[in-house]
Every structure is written in structure tokens, then in C-alpha cells.
Amino acid sequence: MTTSRAPQHHPRPSLPLIAATTAALPAVVLSSLAIAQPAAAEPRARAVPATLAAAMRAQAKAEVATSLKASVIPAASVPVTLPSALRPAQSAVPAQYTIARGDTISAVAGRYGLDTYAVLKLNNLQANTIIYPGQKIKLTGSTAATPTVSKPAASASVTSAQASVYVVKSGDTLSAIAARHGVGLSEVFKWNGLGMGSVIYPGQKVKVSGGSSTQAPSAPAAPAPAAPSKPATAPASSGSYTIKSGDTLSGIAARNGVRLSDVLSANRLTMSSIIYPGQKLVIPGASTLSPASTTPAATQPAATTPLVPSTFLGFTYPAAVVSSANQNKALLNASPVPTREQMKSIVADTARRMGVDASLALAFAYQESGFNQRAVSPANALGTMQVIPSSGEWASELVGRKLNLLDPYDNATAGVAIIRQLVRTSSDLDNAIAGYYQGQYSVSQNGMYEDTKAYVAAINANRTLFS
């Protein structure tokens, strides 16, 4: 059939669909849609009157204030001090306390509720005084008798009193002595011919007041000049003088009618040189002023018996080195040092802290000094670890701070630091041990000498004692 088809229309989408759908709905549904009414809107809540809202807010505010007030404790109800029932029990303060490893004066004082300054004063200590395990300190009681006033026999001087004298005790410093007696440090220096570099030691007598110290010799029982009006013509010694406890170079010079500079020059000393009881000094004025009455040759052989000899194992050391060794020995002899057993603990603890085998460090300390902190060799090797000053400088660089080889803890630190460095930089342990004795460079260039080999064997044997 060739009938023509009706043209197809392409209406917009969805409109015919909606129309068809609507047309297909039954009449009943259409009528119900037409009859149905929209749902009634929910009635609006009535507004709260302004006066009632204000009253409600005021009531809520009052309730909050009341609750806060009830939660705060009045200041008057808080006690000023902790009730005794809640206080920690206070340890009874002993009359004496033995220092343990790791103790400090402030910690000990705090443990017993004491004032640190009072404990320092009670024991004649300073804030920088070194304490060591086993040392005994007082916690109660009174300070030891302060100045020991010397009352010499009546003097011919009528214008001024004699100077008061204080006997130095262990732990004293010149500044503390000056403060204790209410005088200036510069005055103490002036009265005693001392300076900032001067060293004092227990038993030394220090003048703590003015007086006719230049007119009449007070403390030392040395022979007085025969003619006080002309002291320069009657010196008190015959070419030499043996130092006594409490002497100073300026006092010796004045007593013998010579200048201090002449005494220093004749004995190759300086203002900071250390002198010690028993040391003999040349008095230049005596031999110069009265050559006929004295025989210098007779007094010269009576040389000072040194604390440290000049030779060791067949080696003779330079006079300057031996002189320094004797000065350091005198200092250590006059200072409190730990016992050998305490020193052994210090070395072991230092080695563990620095990562070094404790048995190795103890073997060195035992071989070098037998744990004797007062040991000094003619080479000026000092203390327990026998470290010479130049090696001490090297050890100071290794640990990053200045080390004092006369201090027992620093001495142990210096020795252990050197051992640690030698172990790290040597080819093996034996060469490291040899380096401590012979020097690392010498070992690398010359090998071990025979005495070095014996030293290495001794250290290895000692290690077994402490392993």
C-alpha cells in the first residue's frame, strides 16, 4: 500500500509522558485530587512574655553564681603550713657524715634539712673545695676555733701590738681566712708577703691583723739580730736558712736583713714559687756582708734533701723538671688526698663512665703508682696515673676542659682519656699500652724498647688481677 504515512512529530521529552499519564488516570482519582485540601499548618507557639523571660534569666544566673561560690574554698580555710601528720619524716642529723660516691655538700645538707653555707663553714670548706668518698664532715657542733692568736713575749715596741696569727687548716683559702677575720684579702697579702698565686698549706701561720710585723719578728723562733738598730750588719743566718712551717720568703728576707729580690735571685725562685718546711735557702746577704766570719764552702754541701730525686731507672732529668716535680710533691704532701682504696674506686668509676675497660685502667694505675695520688716522679709525672703536664694538656683537649693533674678525679680522667685515645688509634692493644709508656710516635718509629716490652707484659698481667 502506497498510502502516505503521517509525519512523525518529535515533541519535547516528558511533556507527552505527563499528558499520557494524566489522561490515563481514572476520573475518580482526578476528582479526589481536586477535592483534597492542603494540610493545615501547625499553630505557632506563643511568645514568652518579656518580663517572664527576664525573670528566668535572672534565676539561672543566680543558680550558676551559687554553685561557683560553693566550689571555691575560702583562703582563710587553707593552712599556711603542711599539717604535721602529712610532713615527711625528717632524718635525724648525725654529728658526723662520711662522704659517699656522688655526694655534694649541698645534697648532704639538703638531706638533713641543713643550710649548705652552715655546713661549709662548720668544716672550714669553700664552695669549690674538693670532697672525696670516705672523707668525714661535721653536720652538728661548732666551728673549730677560728684564729689561733699568738701572744709572743712582750716586745720592746711600745707603739703597736703584735699581729694576730691564724694556723691554716685543710680546706682553707686566703679569701675565706680574710673574710672570717673581717679583713681585706689585699691586707692579708700585704701582711704576709703573699699574692694571688701563692700556695698555702695546713700548719702554715698567716697573719690576720696588722701590727709591728716589720719592727719585731713575731712567730718564728729564729735567732734575733744582735744589733736591732743595724739589722743589715748582723744577719741571723750564716749563708743558708732552713725553712720552717709558717715561713714566707719575704719574712725570711726581712729577718736576715736582705732584700726579697736578692733571696729570689740567689735561689732561682719567683714570687709564685712554692717553699716547704725543711727546704734550705741561700741567704746572699750573710755571705756577702761577713765573708770573714763564715765559710760558705762549709755550708754549700748541706744541700736540701729533695722530696723527688733527679734520677730514675738510670736517667737523670733536667734541673727545671726536677724542681717542678719537687714543688708538685710538696703541694700533694700538704693536701688531703683519697686513700689507695678510694683512688682505686675513682679510677674504675672514671673508666666505666668514659667507656674504657675498667680492668685496663686499673692495671695502669696499679703499675704506675699503686693507686697513690701523692706519687711524683723525677720526670714530673703526677698522681695516680703518672701523667706529665704536657700529656695533661693533651688530655684536656681530648675531654674538652682544663684538667688539674693534682686533683684526684681530674688525674684519673686524664689517664683514662689518654688510654682511650691510644686504644682507638693504635694497631692493637699491646701497641696502645706501649704508647702510654714510651710514647705512641716513638713506638711507631722505633718499635718497642726492651723496657717497654717488660712494661706491656706487666700491664697485661695486672689486668688479670682486676678482671
Residues with catalytic function: 368
For residue 171, CA distances in Å to 105, 126, 150 come to 13, 7, 22
User: Strand ranges (DSSP E) for 23-71?
Assistant: none
Give which of 466, 277, 308 is closest to 374, Cα–Cα: 308
User: How far is 392 from 376, CA to CA, in rounded Å?
Assistant: 14
Contacts 24+ apart (CB under 8 A), 231-237: 231/257, 232/257, 232/258, 232/285, 232/289, 233/257, 233/289, 235/283, 235/285, 235/286, 235/289, 235/290, 237/283, 237/286
- Partners of 137 in the β-ladder: 97
What SS3 class is residue 327? helix
Other beta carbons within 10 angstroms of residue 433's beta carbon come to: 28
Q: Which three cell numbers stand for residue 257?
A: 736583713
Other CB atoms closer than 10 Å to residue 122's CB: what's the count? 18
The closest alpha carbon to 340, from 383, 309, 311, 399, belongs to 383
Determine the Cα–Cα distance for residues 321 and 316; give it in Å rounded to an integer. Answer: 10
Q: Where are the beta strands (DSSP E) in 34-128?
A: 96-98
Question: Cell for 222?
Answer: 729564729
CB atoms within 10 A of CB 415: 29
CB atoms within 10 A of CB 425: 11
- According to DSSP, the residues that pair with 315 across neighbouring strands are 312
